[in-house]
Structure formats: structure tokens, C-alpha cells
Structure 1
Amino acid sequence: MIKSSNGDTPFSLTYRTEAVIPAEIRMPTFRTAEVNVDENDEALEINLDLIEEKREQAAIREVKSKRQMEKYYNTKVRNTSFKPGDLVYRSNEASRVEDTGKLGPKWEGPYEVTEALGKGSYKLKDRDGRELPRTWNVCNLKKCYIHKM
């Protein structure tokens, strides 16, 4: 099967030629009936000479395909960042508190962001002013939309 990412079959990239399946060998087809051995040998030698170029083209097509997938994925990603002073909730799952069951709260807080450390990590403090002991990643936080009192 031809791979959509590089446009070639894995067999042709590995063995430098196209495969003839057993069904084609047993039944006479145009491809097997009209084979000239001398021309076939010359074509195989040409394939050997051009294999590096063929592999490079496949690698270029594969990189292009990966870029397209990355672009499609990144269009759906929302960047979230917080500034010091913002109120956030933190995930119960990330804070490793006791399991409250299926109907328990999924988020706890609100907490205030005291420092943005970069690359999505933040230091938090609770409403009483005590700083939490570790940093928290942005994927475990969500914005709290209540006003400060």
C-alpha cells in the first residue's frame, strides 16, 4: 500500500523496486507476460542509481505531511496564560487530594497567581495568603471569574 505521508510503498523504499505479488506470477497479466529480461535488468540498475534521490523526495513529502498535521492540530489549541493577581481554580486530580468520588468537585480554589515562572508554570497562594508548596502547570489550572472581595 502506498503511504500517504511519503507517497511510496515501504517495499520500494527498502528494496529499490516494486513488488510483484504471487497472484500476478500465477496468472498471466500484461505486466508479467510482456517482461523482457534485458530491459528489466537495465531498469533495475537505473532504480539502484536513483534510489537515494527517491528516498530524499519521500523524506521531503513526509516532512510536508507532518507540517500539515501539526498546523491542523495547532489551530484547535487555545493558549492560556495567567498574570500575577489572577484568580484560578486547580484540578483536584493534579493536587492528589483524597478521592471524593464520582459526584465530588473536580476543581478546588480559588487561588491567586503570585508568580509566572515561564513555560506554563505558576506559583499560587490561597485566600488566606499562604503560598502553596510547589509550582502548578497551566494544564491543571483554569480561570476563575469571580471578583476579588
Structure 2
Amino acid sequence: MGVTSFHLVYGGEAVVPVEIGVESDRTQNYDKDNIERRLLELDLVDKARTKAVVRLMAYRQRMRQNYNRRVIPSSFQVGNLIWKKVKLVGDVTKLEALWVGPFKVVEKLCSKAYYLEDEDGR
């Protein structure tokens, strides 16, 4: 995003306790009566937040495009034989099967939902 989360929330950079003990430009040039500079920083924080939102939206769009480029949509027809993925829950060993089946597609309920029937007709 270009700035730290602390800067987006508070409008300035955090002073780490280590920096207080060690003389740095930030601690040497700090003036307790520097209200004007602080108000200017607070005015600029809105611009920084807007810029961060724009960058985040662009990042999300690139991620969405990358995902959509690689995903292969699957659609099944009535009568197809398919395998169903087993949800790994609890105490499942790594040698157990990840897929069960085959199942026959009996009915297409909606775009990604199907009514399945196993070999025994259940």
C-alpha cells in the first residue's frame, strides 16, 4: 500500500521506544509546540488513505484476473460419472482416500449443485 497501517490510522509514523533512547532525526527535531506540522500531517492522511484504497482495489483486481485466467470451470451433465471430494475432518490420516465414488449425476439443481446417486442407487 506504500504506507504503514499505523500511518493510515494515526496520520504519522510510530516512534519505537528504541528510537527514544537513541538519538535520531525524528527525536532531535521534535518540537512539543509543533501543532501546525501535525495538523498538516493529519490533512494529508486522507490522501494517503485514498491512495491506499486505490492500490488495494488494483491489487484485488489483478488477483481476480490471475485466478480467473487459471481456473477451469467444470459443468456436469445428467448421466456423467463423477468423484466427490471427501472433507478432511478431525482425525484423518494422510493415507486415507481424498475422493469417493464414482457417483452418477441424476439431476442438475443449479449451476454448481447436483443431485448424485451412487452405484447402489442411493
Q: Give me the TM-score of the superposition, normalised by structure 1.
A: 0.58
Question: What CA distance in whole angstroms lies between the structure 1 residues aligned with 2:76 and 2:55?
Answer: 39
Percent identical pairs in the alignment equals 30
Asked if the contact 2:102/2:118 (under 8 Å) is kept, the reply is yes
* Greater Rg over alpha carbons, structure: 1
Corresponding position: 1:46 with 2:40: yes
Residue 82 of structure 1 deviates from its aligned partner by 1.4
- Any gaps of 5 or more consecutive residues in structure 2? 88-94
Partner residue in 1 for 2:16: 21
Partner residue in 2 for 1:107: 100
Residue 127 of structure 1 deviates from its aligned partner by 6.8
Count of residue correspondences: 115
Residue 45 of structure 1 deviates from its aligned partner by 0.8
Residue 44 of structure 1 deviates from its aligned partner by 1.0
Which SS does the other structure have where 2:14 is aligned? coil
Which SS does the other structure have where 2:107 is aligned? strand
Match of 2:27 among 27, 32, 42: 32
Q: Which amino acid aligns with 2:26?
A: R
Partner residue in 1 for 2:7: 12
Assess, with a 3 A threshold, how the Cα gap between structure 1 residues 49 and 117 changes in structure 2: closer, same or farther: same
Corresponding position: 1:75 with 2:61: no
Corresponding position: 1:116 with 2:111: no
Residue 27 of structure 1 deviates from its aligned partner by 1.9
Asked if the contact 2:83/2:101 (under 8 Å) is kept, the reply is yes
Question: What CA distance in whole angstroms lies between the structure 1 residues aligned with 2:112 and 2:61?
Answer: 24
